[in-house]
Structure 1
Amino acid sequence: MPVYAGGLGILAGDYLKAAYDLNYPLIGIGILWANDYTEQYIDENGRPYDVYPHYDYHMVKDTGVSVHVQIRGEDVECKVKLVDCYANAPLYLLDTNFPGSRHGWMTSKLYGGGAQDRIAAEMILGIGGVRLLRALGLDVDLFHFNEGHAVFAGLELIRERMEESGLSFSLAWQAVRSQIVFTTHTPVPAGNEVHDHALLQHMNAYNGLDYDQMNQIGGDPFNMTVAGLRLSSKANAVSKLHGHTARNMWKSIQLPAPIISITNGVHEKTWQDRRVKEAFNRDEGLWDAHIQCKKELMDYIFHRTGQQLNPEVLTIGFARRAAPYKRSDLIFRNSDLLNPLLINGKIQLIFSGKAHPNDQLGKEIISDLVKMDRRYGNAVVFLENYNMEVARFLVRGCDVWLNNPRRPLEASGTSGMKAAMNGVLNFSVVDGWVAEGLQHGISGWLLEQAARQSEAWDQDEKDLQELYQVLFNEVIPTYYNQRDRWIEMMKASIDMAQWNFSSTRMLKEYDDVFYAPALQVQQETQTAPYMYPSWEENQPQPYQN
C-alpha cells in the first residue's frame, strides 16, 4: 500500500507490525491517499518526472461509517476504511475520494499541492481521526501524535472537553494534555511545518477556538511541532543524539512537554533476510547467504536497468530522500581519488532516492546522480522510483551502507538499521542512531574524527577527507584481504542491530518509558489538575557520545 513517504511512513508501518507481533492493543489512523506520494522516473535527459497512478486498494474494507469535518466553510464527508490484517492493531484510513465527492483533492496526493491542501489533509487526519474513533465507539486511553501533522486532533479533544464538560479553555487544555504523547522526528526546519493564522481561520482549522487560544498552543505563525509539544504530557525524539538536538532546538518554547529519547527501530521480519538470520543463528554459512542476496540485487539491477554489476566487487549502497543535507554526492567530490577505484573495478556504487515533487533542488540532486550513472557505466547505478521493493534488495545485497549527512540533521536514519541486521556494514557519519550502536572497525566504520575537529563551515571538506582515508585504508583492504575479519564484522553488525534497533524493542520501550508514565499522569489528573513542571526540571542529562 503506497500510502507512505520515506522513512517516517515506513516506520509507521513497522510500528503497527510490531504491535501485531506483540499483541498490543493499538489503533492506527491515517489517510487513504488516492495517488501515492509519487512514482518518480528518469526521462531521456536524466531528469526526474512524477507519475500519479490511481490505486485500487483491494485489501481495504469500507466500514460503512463516515465522519464529517468543516473545511473552508463546507461539510466534508470522510469515509472510514479499514485495513484489518493486523487484528489487534487495525489501521483506519480516512478517504474523501469516492463517487459523488467534491473533496477528493484533499486526500489525493501525500505532501502534494499547496498550503490549503496540506491543512485540509491535516484537519481530516486530526479532527476527522478523533471523530472516527467516536463514531466507531472505540475507547482510547492515550493518543500518540506521530509528528506534527496530527496535532489538530488536540484541538478536537479540547473542543470536546469545552462543549461536553463545560470546562474553560485552560482546564480543557490541561485535561487533554494528560491524554496525549508526541514524537518529533526531524531537526530540519522544513520538517517542522508552520501555517499562517489567517489561512488557518479561512480553512476552519481553529475548530471552535479563537486566535488567542491558538496562539497559546502553536504561536504565530502556528508551528505544528510547537503545538505538539504544548498539547502533550510527554514527548520523545527518535535517537539519543536527536534528543539532545531537539531539547536545544526547542528550549526557548514555553510550556512544552519534556523531550526524552526513544530510538527508532525497524521490523526485523520485514527487513532481515531469512537466510541471513538462519546462518547467523547457526554461526555457519553467513557469507554464502550474503552472496545469494548480493546476486539477487545484481539480477534485479540488470532486469531494471540493463547494467551488469560484478558480485565479486565491493558494492556500496546509498538510498535516501534527495535532500542537500544528506550529501549523496559527497563521495564524488574528489574525482582524482574516486575514478581509479571505479575504472579499475575496486568498488561499485548503487544509489536510489526520490525528491519531493515540488523540490527542484532535490530533483537536481537526482539528476546529478544520474549523470554519474551515465558517466561511469556499470560502476555506478541509479535505481529510479525508490520504494520498499528497491529498499529490500539494497539493504540485503550491498556490502557497505554509506551514510554521510551533515550533523546533527539526521534524527535517526532507519535505512542503516535495516542494512545492519543483514550484515551490510555501515560506513557512516556519527549522527542519529549510529552514535549509539556502531563500533568502528568492529561492526562498521565511523567518520568520527572530523566530527570532533570540524566547524560547520568546513564539515564537508573534513568529512570527505576522512571518508577517503577510511575507505582506502580500512574498508577496501578488509574486504579484499581479510575475508574472515569481514565476516566477523558482519556478525557483530547483526548482533548489534537485530534487537537493539528492532521495532519490537522500540515498541516495548515506548510502552515502558512513555505510555505507562503518561497513563499514570492521566490517572492523577482525574483527582487534581496536573501542574506541568518547568522545562528545566524535566530535562534528561545531556547526551554523551
Structure 2
Amino acid sequence: MTQYSRWYHPYDIDEKYNKRVAYFSMEFGIDQAFKIYSGGLGFLAGSHMRSAHDLRQNMIGIGMLWKYGYYDQVRHDDQTMRAQFLKKYYTFLEETGITVTVRVNNHEVRVKALVLKPEVFGTVPMYFLTTDIPENDYLARTISHRLYDPEVSTRIAQSIVLGIGGRKVVEALGGADLYHLNEAHALPLAFDLLDTYRSVEKVREHLVFTTHTPEKAGNEEHDIHFLDRMSFFNGTPLEEVRRITHMEGHMFNHTLAALRLSKVANGVSQLHGEVAREMWDENHGICEIKAITNAQHAKYWTDGFLWNALQNNDDNYLVVRKKEMKHQLFKIVANQTGKLFNPEVLTIVWARRFAAYKRADLLVRDLERFLALVNNKERPVQVIWAGKPYPFDEGAVDTFNRLVKLSIKQPNFAVLTGYEMELSRYLKQGSDVWLNTPRRPREASGTSGMTAAMNGSINFSIQDGWLPEFSRHGENSFILPVVDTSLPDHLQDTEDHKNLMHILEHEIIPTYYFDHGKWLSIMKQSMYDVLPFFGSDRMAHEYYEKLYNY
C-alpha cells in the first residue's frame, strides 16, 4: 500500500482548512499535457486544486481519466475545423491499487483509480477514474472514453462512475467530511450518501454544490424513469427519490435536485449569484445560494517578467516585454495560417468556448465595416479568434468555420485551432485587448478575462460575469453599456454591436495609437486591480469560509 492509497498530503495541513473535503469535477484544466478538460469549468477547477495545495488545505480532487480527452481540434484541407479523437497516455499517473464497483443499467462496472501526486503539477492529491480496464466488457470500457459524450446514456453512466465510483474511492482513502459537487455531473453521489446515512438531513450535512451556468444546456434534465433504469439513483426507490427531491412529473432536473440535497450552494460571480437565486428561488426546498466569484491561479498564468516590470515601475521594460510576448503569439499565427502579424499593431483576441450566447461573430455583424476597421492603413487592427465548439453542436461549428472562411484572404484576421491551456496562455500574453461578447446575464463568470488582465491585456467586454466586480471604463478596461435584456436576441445583438463598434472606433483605437501614456496607464491599472482578489488563493479560502465551514 502506497501513501497515496490513503488520505495523505505531503504538507502539514493549515488548521484553518482542516475539514476533509473531496472535490468532484467532470473536468480539470491542470496542465497542457493532461487533456481532460474542455474549457472554463476545467480551468477553474484546475486553479482551485493548485491554490488548495498552496494554502495547505485538507482537500483532494476526484475526476475522470478520459481516454480520448475532449477532442483534438485540427483542420480539413479547406482550413475548416475537424474533431479528431486520439488515445491519450500519461506516465505521470500512478497506480493506487484501488478498484471499486458501481452499477450501471443494473450491470456491475469496475472502476479503477489512479493518482496524480502533488509534486507533478503542484495540486492537492488528485484521483482519476477509469472504466477502460480488462475486467469490464467493451461497453463498460467506453464509459470513460470521451468527455461529454454525445450519447445520453453514456453521459449518465459517466455521472454514476464519477459520483458513486468517486465516493467509494474516497471511502477507500479514509473518507471525507464533506463532498463538493463542481456542477451537478456527480449527483449520483448524493444517493450513495443516502444509502449510507439513511437520512436526507444527514446527506445535506455532507454535501455542497457549485452551479456554473444559467444556460439550459448546463442544467440537465432527463426522464426520471430512464435515470432509474440506468441505476442513477443507486437503488433508491422512485417514490423516495421524488419525496426527497420534490420532483413532480417525469422530468428530473439535476441542478434542482442538487440544490435540494446540499446544505449550501454558490454561484460563481456576484451577478451570477443573483441570477441563480432569481432562477431557482421559486422552487421550494432548495438550499441557500451564495456567491463566490471564480478566480485563476496567478502563479501559473502570469508572465513573471511582465509582473516584475510592473512591480518595479519599469514602464520601458513593460512595453518591451509585451511586444516580446506578441512576437511569441504571432509565431503561432504564422505557423497555423501563414500570416505575419505586426507587434506594433493593436491586436484584439476573442478566445473561449464557441457557444451561441457567447456571440463569437458579433464583431463581424457588419462585415464591410469590420474589414474597413482591420485594413485601415493609418491605424490597422489585428484580430484573432480561437476556441473549441462542442464537436456535435452544428451551429457552433458552423460559426467557427464561417469565421475561418472569412479570414482566409485577410492578412490581419486569423482563426486558430487547438485552444487549450498553452494556446490560451500565449493569446492572453500576446493580446492588447481581450474581447468578451456574451448576452448578459448568460455568462456566469468568464474567467479568461482575469488571466488576460494578469498579462497586460485590457478587457473589452459586456458587463457580465466577473466584470461588474472589476471594471471601470477607461481606467482598467473598456465596458459596453448594459442593454435591455428583455429585448429579443437580435435586437440585443444590434444594440451591443453598435456600442462595441463605437467604443472600438472612438476610444480603443485612438487611445492605442495616439495616447500611449493613457493606454499604458489602463494596462497597468488592470494588472494592479486583478490581483489579489481575482487570484484563486482568495477563492479557495472563501470556499472553506463560506461553504465548507458553514
More displaced stretch, 51-60 vs 507-516: 507-516
Which residue does 1:120 correspond to in 2?
Answer: 157
Which is further off, 201-210 or 319-328?
A: 201-210
* Local SS of the residue matching 2:342: coil
How far residue 493 of structure 1 moved from its aligned partner, in angstroms, is: 0.4
CA-to-aligned-CA distance 1:168-213 (integer Å, 9 cap, x gap):
xxxx101110111110000000010112122112211121211122
What does residue 502 of structure 1 align with?
A: 535
Q: Residue 449 of structure 1: CA displacement? A: 4.9
* Closer, same or farther: CA 29–218 of 1 in aligned 2, 3 Å: farther
> Which deviations, in whole Å up to 9, do the C-alpha atoms of 1:221-272 show, x marking residues without a partner?
1111011101111110000111111111112211111111100000111111
Residue correspondence of structure 1 range 315-464 to structure 2 within 5 A = 315-345=347-377, 346-376=380-410, 378-450=411-483, 456=489, 458-464=491-497
- Say if 2:197 is the partner of 1:161: yes
Superposition TM-score, scaled by structure 2 size: 0.89
Please tell me the root mean square deviation across aligned C-alpha atoms, in Å.
1.6
Match of 2:29 in 1: none
Query: For 1:307-326, what per-residue CA distance to the aligned partner results, in whole angstroms no more than 9, with x for missing partners?
Result: 21111110000011111111
Q: In the alignment, does 2:43 pair up with 1:19? A: no
Determine the structure 1 residue equivalent to 2:241.
Answer: 214
Q: Distance in 2 between matches of 1:176 and 1:453?
A: 39
| Partners of 1:459 and 1:218 in 2: CA distance | 36
Secondary structure at 1:413's aligned position in 2?
Answer: coil
Q: Distance in 2 between matches of 1:487 and 1:373?
A: 30
For 1:154, the aligned partner's letter is A
Instruction: Give the conservation status (yes or no) of the 8 Å contact 1:112–1:357.
Output: no
Deviation of 1:95 after TM superposition, in Å, equals 0.8
The CA deviation at 1:344 is 2.5
1:97 aligned residue: 132
Question: How far apart in 1 are the matches of 2:189 and 2:45?
Answer: 18
Give distance in 2, aligned partners of 1:322 and 1:505.
29
The answer to whether the aligner puts 1:69 opposite 2:99 as a matched pair is: no
Q: Verify: 1:35 aligned to 2:65, yes or no.
A: no
Cα deviation code 1:47-102 (max 9, x no counterpart): 32211111111110111110000111211010111001257711011111123532
TM-fit CA distance, 1:509: 1.4
CA contact (8 A) 1:215 1:222 kept: no
**Which of 285, 288, 292 is matched with 2:324 structurally?**
292
Structure 2 counterpart of 1:208, which letter?
A: G
Matches within 5 A, 1:80-95: 80-86=113-119, 89-95=124-130
CA–CA distance in structure 2, aligned partners of residues 74 and 452 of structure 1: 48
| Alignment check: 8 A CA contact 1:80 1:95 kept | yes
Q: 1:449 to 1:94 in 2, by over 3 A?
A: closer
Identity rate of aligned residues, in percent?
38
- Which residue of the partner structure matches residue 14 of structure 2? none
Give the letter for the 1:193 counterpart: E
The number of aligned residues is: 506
Provide the secondary structure at the position in 2 that maps to 1:27: strand
Cα 1:222–1:449 shift into 2, 3 Å: closer
Q: Which residue of 2 aligns with 1:183?
A: 210
Q: Is the 8 A contact 1:286 1:487 kept in 2?
A: no
The match for 1:264 is 294
Q: Normalising by structure 1, what TM-score?
A: 0.90
Q: Structure 2 counterpart of 1:416, which letter?
A: G
Asked whether the equivalents of residues 180 and 232 of structure 1 are also in contact (C-alpha less than 8 Å), the reply is: yes
- Asked if 1 retains the 8 angstrom alpha-carbon contact of 2:462 and 2:482, the reply is no
Tell me, in whole angstroms, the C-alpha distance in 2 between the residues paired with 1:119 and 1:454. Answer: 36
Cα drift, residue 456 of structure 1: 5.0
Stretch of structure 1 that moved more, 58-67 or 37-46: 37-46
The one of 259, 262, 271 equivalent to 1:241 is 271
Report the CA distance between 1:453 and its aligned residue.
10
Report the secondary structure of 2:483's partner residue. Answer: helix
Could you tell me which of 255, 268, 280 is aligned with 2:285?
Answer: 255
2:84 is aligned to 51
Match of 1:485 among 499, 510, 518: 518
Q: Distance in 2 between matches of 1:185 and 1:2?
A: 21
Decide which of 221, 226, 231 is 1:199's aligned counterpart. 226
1:117 to 1:507, Cα distance in 2 relative to 1, 3 A: same
Distance 1:321 1:449 in 2: 23
Instruction: Give 3-state SS (helix, strand or coil) of 2:128's partner.
Output: strand
